[in-house]
Chain A
Amino acid sequence: MRYLYILLAIFIFPWSIHAQNYEQEREKMVTKQILKRGVRDVRTLDAMRKVERHLFVPPRYMRMAYDDSPLSIGYGQTISQPYIVAYMTEIIEPKPSDKVLEIGTGSGYQAAVLAEIIDKVYTIEIVSELAKTASDRLQNLGYDNVKVISGDGYNGFEEEAPFDAIVVTAASEHIPPSLIKQLKEGGKMIIPVGSPFLVQTLMLIEKKDGKISTSSLMPVKFVPFTRGQNQ
């Protein structure tokens, strides 16, 4: 019987060390990468601490999941640098009662972070393989409040419009008119713009008193060679 315990310990021990490491790494990620760069929203920080980022990356990148960089997830897409995810989440000032639309599900990580704060998240992914994987992943992790739609996010999601916020994670060379239409009065949309081979700029679009204004917020500088700040 004693041997059985030892054997069990041998199997469990490395796993538990790993699990503990991921938690530590997540905390380190929040402190060293996110807090340090000025993200202060408590809900966002809690969500970043909670979502297990390593479960959203391909197995070969698991050990790099909490690094300060984006990682490739296939199909020319990336999972964003953790700080960018936190920054985009904070900037839309999410509240539990909000309805948020995400365009570009990618791995599902940004949707999971939003789902930790918001009751209902809609996310659309154009690459059907990515949509399927992200949907399964989010379901397995218990994110029942995320609805993954496989399709073209260009036209938004008319059925559930208007939205308090729209988070576009795929860089675009134009801002789809339908998305502006589906944004609530007072709503916010965040979108990376610019050439995929350049340092891109995160753009905040606000709808106030029927007028639309944009603010360029920050350069997205760790996005080499992708079509966008995708995840």
Chain B
Amino acid sequence: MNKRIYLSLGLLSASLIAFQLSLMQLISAVQWNHFAYMVISIALLGFGASGTLLAFTRKWFERHAEVALYLLMTLTGVAMSGIILFSSTLFGKFDTYLIFADFLNVKYLFLSYFSFFIPFFLGALAIGLIYTQYVSRIGTMYFADLLGSGLGGIFLLGLLWVFYPVQLPAVVAILPIVAGIFIIPKQWFKKLIIPSLLLLFLPVYLIIFPSQLPVSEFKGVSGALNMPESEIYMERKSPYGHIQVIEAPSFRNAPGLSLSFTGDIPVGDIIYSNGDWFGPLTNRAQNDEAHFLDYTTHNLAYIISEPTNVLVLDGRTGLHADHALWSGAEKVTIVEENKKALNLLNNELAFKVDSLFSDAKLRSVGLHSRSFLLADSSHYDLIVLPPIESFGGSSGVNALEEQYLLTVDAMNDTWNHLSDKGMIEVTSWMDYPVRNPLKILATLVETLEQNKCMEIEQHLVSIRSWGTITFVLKKTPFSSDEVSRIRSFCEQMYFDLVLLLGITSSERSAFNHLEDSSFFSYVDQIVSPERDAFYKNYDFNIRPATDNKPYFSQFLKLDRLSKLRNLFGQEAVPFLEIGYFITLLTFIQIALIAFILIIFPLFFTKWKGKGKVYTLLYFSGIGIGFMFVEIIFIQQFILYFGNPVTAASAVLSGLLISSGMGSLMSSRLKNNSRTILIILSLVIFFILFYAFILTPVLRVSISLPFLVKILFSILLISPVAFFMGMPFPIGLKHLDGHNNSLIPWAWGINGCFSVISTVLATIIAVEAGFLWVMLLASVAYGLALVASIFR
């Protein structure tokens, strides 16, 4: 039992982290990623709740520890399998997209909270019980826990290549059942081994015959499938998302098309990733016909000049790359981080796009666009940024998605890749209230100023159709010929000028009238040197995003909420920025539940006051600090590795395994105040050090080969992670020597604050930036340090 418990603990921890990640993948695919975030965050409070239950029932659990551990692990596996069966009924009845519109859905929301909570609660109860039972060996136990968690993340990453999202939870559910088998008490072995082995059939059955979870009718993929004769004809699994290719004979993709276009829009197939729009598969324009993008504001750059070397960032299915080639470019580079999709377009789907990706003039790169910019050294005549807020994207929903391509720092990097007469093109949908066009304009204007181009109108033009607005920034001033070509293009296409040298006010609304013409005044204010005052006065946050706060689509100013409510009505406010709103809502719910689970039970305990304050401050401090650091590391490494999946796996495994080693080492250290003070001081020192040096170090080393980067990142993370793994086992050991009835409570606090801090880190990053999250992480460890001094 003694040695097997480590293995069981490791397996259980691996299963819990893999289960969490698989649920994220699954719920995002069938419902909505913010819903997944909210439900799973609340479900993770199962860790906190397990601590509270243990605190009240510790004696009973200790008396029946052996059998209880077996049962809890087995039940965790059963619950993981059962939840998927239950979800198929649950998601058939409600839709998260309707939660704000139809309150009938709220009861199902609570039902889903509760159902997803159960496996985490049971699993955490088992871990908490192990910690209370084996506190004398806590260093090794915590090592097994962290090692299991680290490997669990990597394990799931591998599973994503083999299984569809709907099969993942069942695969993961095998682990805790096996963990339970390892620790069947000797006296019960003969009776329990057969039922335990039989139980494995449940997840295996669900892998072979997965429950069909209904996809929300509001997901893009459902809309496409509602069209006549539409069908999915190809599906592929990968960590980049579940790819579905749909034949949709009624689907035509021509965003923002000019009203003067009279031709036919090609009908094509569509790629969806996790149920969301990825891009169209259209045949390439033939020489004798026009490319429909010629009839959109996107064409502005090709009206200004004839770029020969074009870079298309976040190029998806290659529409804009095709347009560049059609417009005469001799060399086109397309960058797209979804390698699986690129691979399909290069091979199995090549015939759908007339072998665009095999064109000798086209080079495709599978990398995050910003990482490409940091590592590449070429210069381009035109750099095409991805359209902002096309039908495939959405401002409100993606409010908290880091968009490293739309920060001022990114724009400066883009600028550095321009040839002498190079241009940057970016197109946005006109939204209401106006946010996206203003923020991208502000970003471009600040980029120009930072590159010593103070006469903005000489370097920046903008035109507007009925629905889209395009900006072209040019390194050299526009010539009078170029200006007149732009004017005649607008005349032909029914487009209006927004920014142009010598523009008249009537040219701004010649064809497309805006109900609220103050938009033009906003544009002028941003172009003027007084833009800072405008940033402050405008009701939305349109100050350019930076690498420190890379949330381009985050516009909500919390202090303007009541004004917005008056302007747009109570019901409309959540829809102005649903992503951030959901995060705030999640935080409020978690904080409330955490209070109920941690603080409130204190009033009913018979524990003496001694050690309570220490336990609360110490374990909440290290819980918050650890998660803040983990989240910021993941954010920083997304840019470094060029995709979030690799970043999350590298950081999680590096951080957790190194922390595990630290925990192991802690068992050899003397458990006294001096030791903990030194360890916490080292952690604080490292965090502060990383807060300032991590970004420049990563920037310098970004062009290293991939494997070297992996090694380098693990080396970079290890020192701080090693010391971050020590405070938890040392703290528990301290409690064991003084007031061991507080151990379950400490476990609960750590669990709750780890969840709270995940959401809190996002809110702080949005409001103040990454640097502040790191600084506050050191403050949190400082809190633990103070608690240790006065313990």
Which A residues fall within an 8 A CB radius of B?
60-61, 64, 69-72, 74-76, 126-128, 151-152, 154, 173-177, 180-181, 193-201, 203, 205, 212-219, 221-222, 224-227
Contact = CB atoms under 8 A, between A and B. Distances in A.
Contacts of A71: 101-102
A194 B223 contact: no
A128 B228 contact: yes
B494 interface: yes
B572 interface: yes
A161 B735 CA distance: 83
13 contacts: A64-B102, A70-B101, A72-B98, A173-B256, A173-B390, A194-B432, A198-B394, A213-B511, A215-B512, A219-B433, A224-B100, A224-B574, A225-B101
B389 A154 contact: no
A31 B103 CA distance: 25
A192 B644 CA distance: 35
Q: Which 4 A-B pairs have the closest CB atoms?
A: A197-B394, A225-B97, A174-B257, A215-B513
Contacts of A127: 226-227
A144 B466 CA distance: 36
Contacts of B217: 72, 74-76
B161 interface: no
A225 B98 contact: yes
B568 A227 contact: no
Contact of B494 (A198, A200, A212, A226): A212
A176 B568 CA distance: 31
B252 A213 contact: no
B390 A221 contact: no
A131 B373 CA distance: 50
Interface string B573-590: 011101000000000000
Interface in B243-297: 250, 252-257, 259-263, 265
A181 B392 CA distance: 28
B97 A193 contact: no
B575 A199 contact: yes
A219 B227 contact: no
Contact of A214 (B226, B250, B253, B511): B511
A189 to B, nearest CB: 10
A195 B575 contact: no
Contacts of A151: 228
Contacts of B218: 76, 225-227
A24 B649 CA distance: 60
Contacts of B257: 174-175, 177
B265 A72 contact: no
A198 B389 contact: yes
Nearest to B579: A197
A214 B104 contact: no
B228 A177 contact: no
A60 B95 CA distance: 15
B515 A217 contact: yes
Interface string B519-556: 00000000000000000000000000000000000000
Contacts of B263: 177
B430 A201 contact: yes
Interface residues of B, number: 57
B337 to A, nearest CB: 22
B395 interface: yes
Contacts of A154: 250, 252
B394 A177 contact: no
A205 B432 contact: no
Contacts of B514: 215-216
A222 B572 CA distance: 6
Nearest to B397: A197
Contacts of A216: 430, 432, 466, 512-515
Given A72-B95, A174-B265, A198-B394, 14 more contacts: A69-B101, A72-B98, A174-B255, A175-B257, A177-B262, A195-B390, A195-B391, A197-B395, A199-B431, A205-B466, A212-B259, A216-B515, A217-B515, A227-B218
B431 A198 contact: yes
B609 interface: no
Contacts of B259: 175, 180, 205, 212, 214
A73 B470 CA distance: 36
A221 B467 contact: no
B348 interface: no
B223 A76 contact: yes
Contact of B250 (A126, A175, A197, A213): A126
A74 B226 CA distance: 11
Contacts of B262: 177, 181
Q: Which of A71, A177, A198, A213 has the most CB of B within 10 A?
A: A198
B737 interface: no
A215 B514 CA distance: 6
A173 B467 contact: yes
Interface in B359-409: 389-391, 393-397
B480 to A, nearest CB: 27
B440 to A, nearest CB: 15
Q: Which of B218, B261, B390 has the most CB of A within 10 A?
A: B218
Contacts of A205: 259, 466
A229 B578 CA distance: 18
Contacts of A75: 217, 222, 226
Contacts of B431: 194-195, 198-199
Contacts of A225: 97-98, 101, 218
Nearest to A130: B226
B569 interface: yes
A216 B431 CA distance: 11
Contacts of A193: 466-467
B140 to A, nearest CB: 49
Nearest to A61: B102
Contacts of B467: 173, 193-194, 203
Contacts of B395: 195, 197-198
